[in-house]
Amino acid sequence: MSIDGIVLVHKPEGCTSHDIVDALRKILNQKKTGHFGTLDPMATGLLLIALGKATRLFPFFSKLDKEYRGEITLGFATDSYDATGVPTTPSSDKFPIEDVLVHTIQSFVGEQTQIPPAFSAKKYKGQPLYKLARAQKEVSPAPTQINVRLFQLERYSPPQIGFKIRCSSGTYIRSLAHDLGQKLGCGAMLSKLERTCVGAYSLEDAYTLDGIESLAQRNCVSEAILPIEELLPEFPKLILKDSAVLVAQNGNTLYPEHVLKLIPAETAEADFNLKEPAIFRVFNPQGKLMAFARKKSDSHGLHPFLVIDTNTQIS
């Protein structure tokens, strides 16, 4: 039986995000399984794993902000920007005083460009950067736009820095650690990292693999699944009439006469006369998610730009 939804997983240190996906695929007997944002093997914390049709929601979840807690070690830099790499600078014991450290950390807050680390899965001309780095090929990956919303010092016991950070998707914490060391003049590398939040989802609500396997053995795995119908509640819920189900399934324009109900009603006008390109979750009368639709620029209709369910039976 296919499961459509996401499960919050507490990733341990030492395994890849793909290892978690493969393990869940076997535990839940789900072929269609994927993650919504990778974690490095040395990192721990929250992974969002999508199951079944929920894997198609990657464009929404990939944009969510992330929150982390971790540790940066001052004194030298590494080629991977973290504790798994080889030192690339001499050791230094000239550590900054706390006031200087706080000021320098704060300089990283805000919108900025960031160059991905050489040892990362970011692709350059179709090849992951880490493969090119291992082959000792020098490349110049394009910088990406990021936003560091919070970078907070939580503990300072030289050479260790305990920190909390909240940032936009696509931010490399390893690169921030490396760049901090460059600014301070003593070198630095990321020594510990735990992802605590992805959007509104928290590590506190996550399950270990052993916990999920235990639930599966007791036929209680639904306790760990967030059903696809409950995801992305920030988008208004549009319930279709029975007669409009095939219209949505075929990706055709939806008009006010197709709508049975809009929840919450105050989020949009019934005639779809919207100024903003709002996104709607489209459901059949039985409560099953069918599609995501947005306003068409040239009419009062809504275009189902992402059809999730093409096989819904009409009652």
pLDDT tens column, 220-235: 999 999 999 999 998 9
Beta bridge partners of 11: 45
Does the domain made of 5-63+201-228 have the CATH classification 3.30.2350.10? yes
**Which member of 4, 19, 22, 40 is catalytic?**
40
Q: State both tokens at 147.
A: 């936003």
- Please check whether residue 130 is in contact with residue 82, taking contact to mean a CB–CB distance below 8 angstroms: no
pLDDT at 313: 45
CATH 2.30.130.10 maps onto the chain at 237-307
For residues 212 and 207, what is the distance between their CA atoms, to the nearest angstrom? 6
Contact criterion met (CB below 8 Å) for 62 and 169: yes
40 has catalytic annotation: yes
Q: Where are the alpha helices (DSSP H) in the chain?
A: 17-28, 58-61, 98-106, 129-134, 173-184, 209-217, 245-249
Q: What pLDDT score was predicted for residue 221?
A: 94
Q: What is the C-alpha separation between 129 and 137, in angstroms, rounded?
A: 9
Q: Are 39 and 18 in contact (CB under 8 A)?
A: no
Q: Is the dihedral of CA 20, 23, 26, 28 positive or negative?
A: negative
Could you tell me whether strands 66-74 and 160-167 are parallel, antiparallel, or unpaired per DSSP bridges?
A: antiparallel
The contacts of residue 266 (CB under 8 Å, 6+ apart) are: none
Topology adopted by domain 66-198:
Pseudouridine synthase (3.30.2350)
Looking at the chain, the domain(s) classified CATH 3.30.2350.10 span 5-63+201-228, 66-198
The pLDDT score that the predictor gives to residue 295 is 84
159-201 pLDDT tens trace:
999 999 999 999 999 999 999 999 999 999 999 999 999 999 9
pLDDT along the chain (315 residues), means of 10: 92 96 95 92 96 94 95 96 93 96 98 82 62 64 90 98 97 96 97 97 97 96 96 93 94 92 68 65 95 82 88 47
Q: CATH class for domain 237-307?
A: mainly beta
Q: Is 148:167 a contact under the CB 8 Å cutoff? A: yes
Cβ-contact 7, 209 below 8 angstroms: no
Beta strands 259-263 and 237-240: pairing type?
antiparallel
Supply the pLDDT for residue 315: 35
